[in-house]
A and B are shown apart, each in its own frame.
Chain A
Amino acid sequence: MTPRWPVLGPVLVLVAALPACTEPVPEAPPLDEWDQRLAERVVDYSAALRGAALKLTGELPTLAELKQVANAADDAARKAAYEGLLQQYVTGPRFARQMFRFWQDTLKMGDTPALDSAPAFLAKLTVEDRSYLEALTATSGTCPGFDPQTGAFTAGNCTNTPQTVGLLTHPGMQAHFFSNLAFRRVRWVQETFACGAFPAEVALTATDVGGVSPYTGTFPFTSIAGAATGGRVDFRDTKSVICANCHSNINHIAPLFAYYTDQGQSSQTMAVPVPLPGEPRAQEADYLPPGEGLAWRLGVPVTDMASLGAAMAADPDIASCAIARLWNFALGKPDVVDGPAQVPAATIAEHVAAFQAGGHRLRAALLDIFTSDDFIRF
């Protein structure tokens, strides 16, 4: 480390001196046609009201509501009328129903009592303006009931496990996403809370492990199980290194989800099969070599479901994901993991910052988005 400083010193001096140079600073690139189109949008509170009403209540605005906005005296009055109606929308029973539907769709769970309690829990968090992070950390109350007719919630605890950890231990989720080696559950966690497909992390530098393609995971290639370490599935097969690129992350998480049966009940032993003749139950050695610990991400070790939930809650990507999903919902785009509708970080940066600063409250985030400049302009 020490020899580098004499080298960096002059460089830093040079960088510091740059602004003082007399050469003109290059101007920002000229606005292109897309900037022009953004600038040409006009505020339309009536159109915004229709979109907000459909998304937040599942209904069209009434004629009286339409007139309240359209007949307002000026822009300020229209804004006030629009925002007042939004407040009414997010405090009414139809909002609870709509959020229940939104979370059903997000979680891909619903229409049976066992599956409905997970979206009901997230709808309850939204309606009560509680922290979204409770979805990853709550120790009770994660199996509420919900009546879409009245918008009323009924408190309920999940009873499938001695230690409830948000939706990570939810019995409906564990049953619905049961699969070989619990990989479907892990994929659900990744796509639901981190808004991305695996691989979750990609190394800046690829590693040649002797395969036809390089290894690009962030964990060492030898950190996952393979035939050489007693694993029954060779995740280190160099003929298909592409598998290891994803499993470097998956295998550091999946063992935690392997202790739930196909009915979603926690088990003392691993309860998911390995795709081999006879479908034997999975073992720790199928995922990781002896001594290798679990982790949410490289450098973020976890030991159990509670620490996984805490690690995820502390990951800023989780907050960004939540806002990106709400943004696409509001702006009329497919779910953020389903289509090509990308949400650049710059588009939602201020909303993510407000979400984080305000305690990760979903209802507040929705109001923030539905009153944003981009939402009210067409």
Chain B
Amino acid sequence: MTRALPLLLSAAAAAAAAAACTGEITGDPFVGPAPNPYEELERLQREGPPRYSSRVHGCTKLRYRTLGNVLRSRGVALAATGDVSAGRIYRDGAAALGAPNYGGRVRETVELGLATTSKIFDIFVQAAPELIAAMGARPECGGAALFDAAGRCNPDGVSCLLGVPATPTHLQICEQTVARAADVESGKQLAVAVLAAAAHTCE
């Protein structure tokens, strides 16, 4: 021990001196503009450190083509030509929905922005009547319509719309939205739009 200590101290002193004169680099010196440290801190506080955030699901938006598949598979006509039809808004809204531009070497934007979220809601509002009318006949939904003959929300239909089993909360929101609307049909459309847009905000 008495012999090792001076050796260790010498080694430590030499290492410290070496570091001082050569400027040891421990990080990446240039990866584009330096991040704003306050923004970075805020992000870390919100999302957690990478050892955490990398292990939990994120909330990227539904990809453009996937959104089209979801709409089509639940009965929405993507080729519809009406000015305010869901299909038309979908087709014309590619840019707002973050679709890729491979010709310009640009990937699809998967991070959610206000414009994208608003556009998705617009689409589901306009798609609601089609969804209500068509879902019951879709093979993907096994004959489950969104509402029963009495106008009550059908758990199977809501599950098929959401892609997960409908919870009591989903059904409560559905029922309350219908009940609070000015008329039943408007209420059904609003309920479907709200549930679908909320469920399909994140992929």
A333 touches B69 (CB 8 A): no
B55 touches A38 (CB 8 A): yes
Given contacts A204-B25, A334-B111, contact A59 B56 (CB under 8 A): no
B23 neighbours in A (Cβ, 8 Å): 205-206, 214
A105 touches B100 (CB 8 A): yes
Q: Mark B156-168, 1 if CB is under 8 A from A, else 0.
A: 1001101111000
* Cβ of A184 to closest chain B Cβ, rounded Å: 8
Given contacts A38-B56, A54-B66, A108-B106, contact A63 B140 (CB under 8 A): yes
Interface of B is mostly: loop
The segment from A44-52, A282-290, A302-310 found at the interface with B is A44-52
Summed over the interface, the residue pairs from A and B with CB atoms below 8 Å come to a total of 168
The segment from B43-51, B79-87, B184-192 found at the interface with A is B43-51
Cα distance, A7 to B165, chains bound together (Å):
67
* Cβ of A23 to closest chain B Cβ, rounded Å: 14
The segment from A159-167, A291-299, A338-346 found at the interface with B is A338-346
Whether, in the assembled complex, B105 has its beta carbon less than 8 Å from a beta carbon of chain A, the answer is yes
Tally of contact residues, B, Cβ under 8 A: 60
Whether, in the assembled complex, A202 has its beta carbon less than 8 Å from a beta carbon of chain B, the answer is yes
Tally of contact residues, A, Cβ under 8 A: 70
| One of A14, A111, A202, A338 near B102 (C-beta < 8 A) | A111
B111 neighbours in A (Cβ, 8 Å): 334, 339
A10 neighbours in B (Cβ, 8 Å): 3-4, 7
Whether, in the assembled complex, B62 has its beta carbon less than 8 Å from a beta carbon of chain A, the answer is yes
Q: Which of A41-87 contact B (CB under 8 A)?
A: 41, 46-47, 49-51, 53-55, 58-64, 66-67, 70
Cα distance, A206 to B4, chains bound together (Å):
31
A46 touches B165 (CB 8 A): yes
A61 neighbours in B (Cβ, 8 Å): 163
Whether, in the assembled complex, B151 has its beta carbon less than 8 Å from a beta carbon of chain A, the answer is no
A59 touches B73 (CB 8 A): yes
A320 neighbours in B (Cβ, 8 Å): none
Whether, in the assembled complex, B58 has its beta carbon less than 8 Å from a beta carbon of chain A, the answer is yes
Cα distance, A335 to B159, chains bound together (Å):
30
Q: Which of A206-252 contact B (CB under 8 A)?
A: 206, 214, 216, 242, 245-246
Q: Which of A160-181 contact B (CB under 8 A)?
A: 176-177
A112 touches B103 (CB 8 A): yes
B52 touches A11 (CB 8 A): no
The segment from B29-37, B118-126, B174-182 found at the interface with A is B29-37
| One of B8, B43, B48, B60 near A340 (C-beta < 8 A) | B43
A34 touches B52 (CB 8 A): yes
| One of B30, B51, B52, B108 near A242 (C-beta < 8 A) | B30
Given contacts A11-B8, A46-B164, A341-B58, contact A332 B65 (CB under 8 A): no
| Chain A to chain B contacts (Cβ below 8 Å), 14 pairs | A7-B7, A38-B56, A54-B203, A58-B65, A70-B165, A101-B65, A105-B108, A106-B107, A108-B106, A205-B25, A242-B29, A245-B29, A340-B43, A347-B54
